[in-house]
Amino acid sequence: MRKTGVAVVLAALLGLVGCGGGSPSSETQTEAEGGGELIPIEVGVIPIVDVAPIYLGVEKGFFEDEGLDLTLTLAQGGAAIVPAVTSGQMQFGFSNVTSMIVGKSKGLPIKMVAPGASTTGDVDADFASVMTLPGSGIEETADLAGKRVGVNTLNNISDSTISEAVKQAGGDYESIEFVEMQFPDMPAQLAGGTVDAIAAVEPFVTITEAQGAVPVFSNYAEPITDLTVAVYFTSDEYIQENPENTEKFVRAMTASLEYADQHPEEVRAILPTYTSLEPDVIEQLTLPRYYGEINEESLNEVVRISLDRGLITEEPDMSALLPSNG
């Protein structure tokens, strides 16, 4: 398994929509504790457990230690954050890796700078799961053939990984009908019979299960091994014009990921600051792994699946998209 370490990116990097929220930072330069000015940085994120490390990093002062004043802006999905970053509206953003690959294949000037969240690798205990209702006739992966499945974004990471898993299980993956809906709407849509199954992520896996739904499998834990699900990224222009700020963000993000992975209870404690989750849900939900590395092999598999499903017509320049090795 080949991985790109974030620490190694630092030297190489030299030479929305949605409502604001989550960070106590302002959009103007403020005084740092040492007397210097903090650099305002806006980051587009999604209100799911994946982004807990960046909120925790702000709370712990990792970004302020680097001289950065973060504003975290909530958006519906990574696909909406990409144009905000490429237009310069935001400096960094959070997105799943499929959105990154599709964007790069279309010529968008984007580059991954740090991992966001990774699968636990356990198909029975992951932060993402395909959920259905008892009696739906869906008991295993291949049973999704011919069913209606809710996903948060069409032609993206959820529907492509689900269809690949069904294909590998010997099912008619092309007969699946995917229906786009927001994550918070999924439990009600499943309960109401709009769809036969949903591709949920935490906290909606736990919420849906509490309402009587049952898991089928995790489409992040399979069909790809050790999948890096999401990353933080910026624009090529921002890296070129602000290499030091990029270095600072990567260092602080790396520290945030490492701290979050070592302190899961603090991750749970930070969730109420940017979500409206009840304490019992927070206690029960499954957290992602917060690795400090991007698994390149898993992204190569995402490229292969994206090509097979027609999400992209040719393989993008992955060396230009992935953090550099040196």
User: Do 105 and 165 form a contact (C-beta atoms < 8 A)?
Assistant: no
Range 69-96 average pLDDT: 90
* Distance linking the first and last C-alpha atoms of the chain: 18
Among 2-16, 142-156, 255-269, the minimum mean pLDDT is found in 2-16
Closest CA to 199 of 152, 135, 147, 163: 152
Show the tokens assigned to 281. 């849900």
Q: Which domains does the chain carry?
A: 3-119+227-321 (3.40.190.10), 128-217 (3.40.190.10)
Report the pLDDT value the prediction gives residue 240, as an integer from 0 to 100: 96
- For residue 66, pLDDT over 70 is answered with yes
How much is the pLDDT for 20? Answer: 35
Q: Is the pLDDT of residue 13 over 90?
A: no
Q: What is the DSSP string of 198-225?
A: EEEETTHHHHHHHTT-EEEE-TTTSSST
pLDDT tens-digit profile of 98-112? 999 999 999 999 999
Looking at 7-21, 57-71, 103-117, 191-205, which range is the least confident one?
A: 7-21
pLDDT at 124: 86
pLDDT recorded at residue 75? 85
Mean pLDDT over 68-80 rounds to: 85
Given this model, what pLDDT does residue 79 score? 67
Distance, CA of 286 to CA of 205 (rounded, Å): 9
pLDDT exceeds 60 at position 29? no
Instruction: Report the alpha-carbon distance of residue 293 to residue 116 in Å, rounded.
Output: 9
Residue 97, helix vs strand vs coil: helix
Q: What is the pLDDT of residue 323?
A: 85
What is the layout of strands, in order, in the sheet containing 214-217? Answer: 177-180, 148-151, 197-201, 128-132, 214-217
Please indicate, yes or no, whether the overall pTM of this predicted structure exceeds 0.75: yes
134 has pLDDT over 50 = yes
Q: Residues 193-232: pLDDT tens digits?
A: 999 999 999 989 999 999 999 999 999 999 999 999 999 9
Decide which of 217 and 26 is more confident.
Answer: 217
Task: Name residue 246's amino acid.
Answer: T
- Kindly report, residue by residue over 261-284, the tens digit of the pLDDT: 999 999 999 999 998 899 999 999
